[in-house]
Structure 1
Amino acid sequence: MDLKPVKTRRIYEQIVDQIKSLITQGNLHPGDKLLSERELAEHLCVSRASVREALRSLEIMGLLEIKPGEGTYIRKADINTVVEPLVLMFLLEQDKTRELLEVRKGLEVEAVGLAAERALEEDLFSLERALQQMEQGLDISGNAGEKADLKFHFAIAEASHNSILIRLMNTVHDSMNQTLKTTRQLWISNTDGTAERLYEEHRAIYMAIKNKHIEKARQIMYEHLIKVEQELCKIRANS
């Protein structure tokens, strides 16, 4: 029999669970003020030290905001509580090219679908400009194509008109920039006609957005990113 030792849960953990349940069930809302430490200790029949430890844990989780001299409040939703840990992760773990490509599939396939649904005239203009720069980059050396490529993908995020998605794209900007540069250089230097093919794929994505073909836009973007991922793996396996 696969038996595991029975663990006694600490009191503060039980307090944390109770307050989290009150939040998820809608009994506590962002901006609501909690009872004082003393009142919570009396209601829960525990020590003030246990209450204090629970409140600190909930503050670290980003669920509470403790204002000295004022009290403890349920924290309002803030995208920074999600984004800032991601920024730190990308700064500390830069050799994550394949994982970043996987993240891009999640973000950009959805972004392009939203863009096809919501893009305004100014969004289409930004995409056209990036495409033109990408096309011009076919005839010159340097990193013009890389910059235009990155600009195109960010223009899609902007066209989604989803502020959280845009923020997430901005968060991975530096890592994405380096990954895009690496994959593009490796792919183009190892495969003839790649720059032209990349341009045509981006143009197909643009046309799907312009014509509001939502599922087609998602499919083309997914296939584009899968192809980039496969080519990168192939090139690295042969290097």
Structure 2
Amino acid sequence: MTKSELSVSDDDERGGAEQVFAFFREQLLSGKLKAGDRLLNERELALKLGIGRPLLREAMRSLAMLGLLDIRHGKGAYVGKADISVLADFFTFCLAQEQNILDDILQARIAIECQAIRLACERATENDLSRIGERLTALIETLDDPEAGGEADFQFHQAIVAASHSPGLITLYRAISDLLLCSHVERRRTTHKTKAIIDDLVEAHRQVFLTIVERDREAADRRLREHFAIGDELRRKSLIAAYSKGGAG
């Protein structure tokens, strides 16, 4: 096979795979397919899409790896449910290659959490409130430990997003959860020895929790945004102080 022939073959394969993905995406979005539905058999599906069966088989294997298809040998293929951990790994792999990603990911976090907390004020159940309260207690108990404290901080905010009962927000948050956890731990390593920041950390989280209990959407949104802004400012001051001392020494 010549180089030009190989190039055409590769292009055909990519085009065929994209056609298969586009077909399933359209079918799912339109509601024509849903989890548990059985697909047409391989021959019928290949004819419907106008592609070869080997290419269809390869594309379906890729979809199965993402959990979108459940291929049962001898029984056919069924619509599955995407594994969010695979999506999270994909997001982490892509975004981790970007420079200063932990600072940038904070912007996505603000967008998701501020809407989530407004919904949580309306939708949070008693179990949700209890869970957020438990996460707040864990956060207070781990102030001197950057690793455990960072994870407790992350879980507190994750519990708020869960209390929104919004599948879309929860899925997006989980998709970037690995990066968010790293961000929490890194920020805690920078600030855990600064009393002013730790005092603010506890009070800010307590106030955020109370606004959810009171089901005050506007106050909750405002408190959370203030928490992000103040925390970022105190972290910058902590870095300036640390490097100023280092330079003086």
- Superposition TM-score, scaled by structure 1 size: 0.66
- Tell me the alpha carbon deviations over residues 57-97 of structure 1, each in whole angstroms, 9 at most, x when there is no partner: 55456543332222223x2333x2x3323146548949843
Where relative contact order (Cα < 8 A, 6+ residues apart) is larger, the structure is 1
State the one-letter code of the partner of 1:112.
Answer: I
- Equivalent in 202, 211, 221 of residue 199 of structure 1: 202
What residue is the counterpart of 2:218 in the other structure? 215
What residue is the counterpart of 1:84 in the other structure? 86
- After superposition, where does 1:1-239 map in structure 2 within 5 Å? 10=12, 12-13=16-17, 15-16=19-20, 17-18=22-23, 20-42=25-47, 47-56=52-61, 58-59=63-64, 62-73=67-78, 75-78=79-82, 80=83, 82-87=84-89, 90=92, 93=96, 96-128=101-133, 131=136, 142-143=144-145, 146=149, 149-150=153-154, 152-161=156-165, 176-187=180-191, 189=193, 193-232=196-235, 235-236=238-239, 239=243
From the two aligned structures, give the one with the greater helix fraction. 2
- 8 Å contact kept, 1:98–1:229: no
Structure 1 residue 42 displacement after superposition? 4.7
State the one-letter code of the partner of 1:180.
Answer: H
Which sits farther off after the overlay, 178-187 or 86-95?
Answer: 86-95
Where structure 1 has 5 or more consecutive residues not aligned to the other structure, the ranges are 1-6
Please provide the CA RMSD for this pair. Answer: 4.3
Q: Distance in 2 between matches of 1:157 and 1:169?
A: 8
Q: Distance in 2 between matches of 1:181 and 1:46?
A: 48
Q: Distance in 1 between matches of 2:236 and 2:204?
A: 20
Equivalent pairs counted in the alignment come to: 226
Structure 1 residue 225 displacement after superposition? 1.9
State the one-letter code of the partner of 1:71.
Answer: G
- Superposition TM-score, scaled by structure 2 size: 0.64
Q: Distance in 2 between matches of 1:189 and 1:218?
A: 28
